[in-house]
Structure 1
Amino acid sequence: MSFPAQQQEPPGLTAPMDPQPDHGELSYAGHARLEGKRALITGGDSGIGRAVAIAYAREGADVAFTYMTEEVEDAKQTAALVEEAGRRAVAIEADLRDSSECDRVVRESTEALGGLDVLVNNAGFQMARGGGLESIDDEQLDRVFRTNLYALFWMTRAAVPHLRESKGCIINNASIQAYEPSTTLLDYAATKAAINNATVNLAAELGPDGIRVNAVAPGPIWTPLQPATQPVEKLEKFGEDTPLGRAGQPAEVAPAFVFLAVDQEAGYVSGTVLGVTGGKPVF
């Protein structure tokens, strides 16, 4: 399908999107696969993060998630959906570009939930309205690397002591951009390739502690980040270059995050990147 011309300012919100994304609100049915688990999702207010929060809650997990100040309305909706599933929702406003904020998020999450079993490093930022290397100023470069990569290290560093206790797991959000980088997303693609490397490295380091580390690599997914950062002409054909010929929905990505979090199903899966790309290769 094609998307009508539309544009927002970053970070982007769900309400103005046309069509509305599918986060699994009406379709995701849980089967108690994460009963009693405690999860922390960065950027859980909208997009893939919201879909994962819904799925985790319906699988029986309590969910803490972060959001930025501008995303408070989306955060309220996500919290309500988690609570409708009968689970606890802990929404934490935070700017993860600051290491002390990442420490605070982990501290507040573990205090509210009584520990931590699953860390989902999902928060991300891109900007594709420029024109390659010379259009990337220092401010953009700093925002992309701090949001996508630094925060992943800071959040993981703070969470590991708690995950050691629970023998928990870490799931990072990578991207097809790590394998098929777009010239308009040079900085973003570089961070996603680094996330793949960090995932494998962390799996090797933390495996002896009983902590599994994996990543999901989505393809083009219809989230607020797209109308907020893509040029209109790109958006109108968004996802049409995949073998399946369309963009994916957040609800189609969330099950991969569920699978990787379930000990009974993915207990021997660590150091891998699971592609949800509409047919684009992840190797």
Structure 2
Amino acid sequence: MDLGISGKTALVTGASRGIGLAIAQTLAAEGVRVVGAARTVTPELEKVAAATVAVDLSTRQGARSVVDRALAAVGGIDFLVNNVGGGDPAGLSLGGVLDVEDEQWTRTFDLNLFSAVWTTKAALPSVLERTGAIVNISSINARVPTGSPVGYAEAKAALTQFGKRLSEELAPRGVRVNTVSPGLTASPLWTDPERFGGAVAAVSGVAHADLIANLPGQVGVASGRFSEPQEVADLVVFLLSERAANIYGADYVIDGGTLKAA
């Protein structure tokens, strides 16, 4: 299937591993010149990206600077994928509301919501000029509260609503904005025992391998497994393509049947 995006350019945030890396790889395979931004640039990202930017996107200056560097590298931005999110488990409390300091709320919202707001504002003049497209990576936790970390589901709910607002504002000007909301995904966030999955296993008092093996069943994933980053990436790239030319303001869930409501 010809997606009609060869020769375009894209800025992908949080592109060094997991879903972001899979998106960058898939776009590059379709002939898109990708600028990949992440706190730490990996060799895997460097292999497929036209340019890479090491940057902290949880700051306003970081978000603005990554757009400036992307424009300098590829001349303009057709596609923006706001993928960066999650958080450093070392800086997150997995307790309840009374256990969490205000700083965790701020850090979580800066990374999972405001990074997208700041990056979008900086990139939008170029995306508008090129009549491009934006995809925000949210989470099914935007619809279903999660126990921890406090602030994550709330930030993702705001990100999903931000996408709706953007779509209403930009659709008349030809820019498509959509959201993809993954469920459990086999990215390093979960599979790396040194990251969030390992922290959850420790708090739960189980081995990390047992957590990964049993979690889909425990949270009701109908397919019985984690989604793969490539499966999420394929959906994102489709939404950016000409094949999705009349899809505006949608929120696509890819969660193996975790959400049960119609």
Normalization by structure 2: what TM-score?
0.87
- Deviation, structure 1 residue 31: 4.9
Secondary structure of the corresponding residue to residue 94 of structure 2: coil
Q: Which has the higher contact order (CA 8 A, sep 6+)?
A: 1
- Deviation, structure 1 residue 236: 4.5
Deviations along 1:81-103, whole A, 9 cap, x unmatched? x1xxxxx5211010112112111
8 A Cα contact 2:139 2:182, kept in partner: yes
Secondary structure of the corresponding residue to residue 108 of structure 1: helix
In structure 2, the partner of 1:184 is 148
Distance in 2 (alpha carbons) for counterparts of 1:111 and 1:42: 16
Q: What do you get for the CA RMSD once the two structures are aligned? A: 1.8
Distance in 1 (alpha carbons) for counterparts of 2:223 and 2:143: 18
8 A Cα contact 1:65 1:91, kept in partner: yes
Secondary structure of the corresponding residue to residue 280 of structure 1: coil
Q: 1:258 aligns with which of 237, 242, 249?
A: 237
Q: Does 1:96 align with 2:57?
A: yes
In structure 2, the partner of 1:13 is none
Matches within 5 A, 1:162-177: 162-177=126-141
Q: How many residues align?
A: 243
8 A Cα contact 1:33 1:60, kept in partner: no
Secondary structure of the corresponding residue to residue 65 of structure 1: strand
Distance in 1 (alpha carbons) for counterparts of 2:82 and 2:153: 16
8 A Cα contact 2:10 2:78, kept in partner: yes
Query: Which stretch has the larger CA shift, 183-192 or 249-258?
Result: 183-192
Distance in 1 (alpha carbons) for counterparts of 2:164 and 2:99: 32
- Deviation, structure 1 residue 252: 1.2
Return 5+ residue gaps in structure 1 as ranges: 1-29, 83-87
8 A Cα contact 2:77 2:126, kept in partner: yes
Query: Moved runs in structure 1, 4+ residues, more than 6 A?
Result: none
Q: In proportion to residue count, which structure has more helix?
A: 2
2:222 alignment partner AA: P
8 A Cα contact 1:163 1:169, kept in partner: yes
Q: 1:248 aligns with which of 222, 227, 232?
A: 227
1:278 alignment partner AA: G
8 A Cα contact 1:176 1:217, kept in partner: yes
In structure 2, the partner of 1:112 is 73
Q: 1:276 aligns with which of 241, 254, 260?
A: 254
